[in-house]
Amino acid sequence: MTVLATRGLEAAEKAIRTAIERDREAIEKIAEMMVESFRRGGKVLACGNGGSAANAAHMCDDLVGHFKFERPGLPAIALVVDPCVMTALSNDYGYDKAFSRQVESLGRPGDVLIAFSSSGNSPNCNNAVEAAKKLGIKTVGLTAKGGGKLKDLADICIILDTNDSSCAEEVHMIIAHTLCELVEKAIFGEGYGPAIRR
Instruction: Tell me the average pLDDT across 168-189.
Output: 96
Instruction: Tell me the average pLDDT across 160-179.
Output: 95
- Going by pLDDT thresholds of 50, 70 and 90, the confidence category of residue 6 is confident
Residue 20's CB is within 10 A of a number of other CB atoms, namely: 10
Torsion over CA: 178, 182, 187, 193 (sign)? positive
pLDDT for position 138? 98
Domain residue limits at 92: 2-188
pLDDT reading at 82 higher than 60: yes
Does a structural domain hold residue 193?
no
Question: 85-96: per-residue pLDDT in tens?
Answer: 999 999 999 999
* Span of 2-6, 30-34, 47-51, 179-183 with lowest mean pLDDT: 2-6
Does a structural domain hold residue 180?
yes
- Going by pLDDT thresholds of 50, 70 and 90, the confidence category of residue 142 is very high
Percent of the chain with pLDDT over 70: 94
DSSP 195: B
Among the listed residues 4, 13, 3, 52, the one whose alpha carbon sits nearest the alpha carbon of residue 162 = 13
pLDDT reading at 197 higher than 80: no
Task: Tell which wins on pLDDT, 52 or 189.
Answer: 52
Percent of the chain with pLDDT over 90: 87
Query: In 3-state terms, what secondary structure has residue 14?
Result: helix
Does a structural domain hold residue 168?
yes
Does a structural domain hold residue 194?
no
Residue 168: phi, psi to the nearest 5?
-60, -45
Instruction: Tell me the average pLDDT across 139-153.
Output: 97
Q: Domain with 79 in it: what CATH number?
A: 3.40.50.10490
Does a structural domain hold residue 174?
yes
Torsion over CA: 189, 179, 39, 53 (sign)? negative
Number of domains making up the chain:
1
Does a structural domain hold residue 33?
yes
- CA 167/CA 9 separation, integer angstroms: 9
Burial of 17 (0-12, 13-18, 19+ CB in 10 A): exposed
